[in-house]
Amino acid sequence: MGVKYSSKINKIRTFALSLIFIGFFVMYGGIFFRTSPIVMTIFMILGLLFIIASTVVYFWIGMLSTKTVQVVCPSCNKVTKMLGRVDICMYCNEPLTLDPTLEGKEFDEKYNRKTRNKKS
Ligand SMILES: [Zn+2]
């Protein structure tokens, strides 16, 4: 499939990944409190919460990726996906904005047609 996500989603993915690392780090920290089972349990639960949080964030990414809009970047002419009204191109970091009046179902069709005409 090779599905690529927008820069915003990439940032959220990085955040979710860091949550997993924080979770494992906290759980690992619990080992140093082996002598007190209560503190160790708190660390383990805390670490587990971070990992659960990252799972939620990953699930959220899945929801968001269905809402991305495919557009052709006006700067590098590559097809990129954007999330929301404002995002940046994942190839050249060109800021992209959707005109609120063009936002909606017909938007990408119009845009693609326009770009195709430009190329031919
Ligand atoms: Zn671009």
Does the pLDDT at position 110 exceed 70? Answer: no
* Mean of per-residue pLDDT scores for the chain: 78
Give the environment of ion ligand 1: residues with CB less than 5 A: 73, 75-76, 89, 91-92, 94
pLDDT attached to residue 99: 60
For the chain, report the end-to-end CA distance as a whole number of angstroms: 28
The predicted-structure confidence for 84-101, as pLDDT tens digits, reads as follows 777 888 888 888 777 655
Between the CA of 110 and the centroid of ligand 1 the distance, in Å, is 18
- In the DSSP assignment, the letter for residue 85 is S
Distance 64 CA to ligand 1 centre (A): 21
pLDDT of 83 strictly over 90: no
Q: What is the pLDDT of residue 119?
A: 46
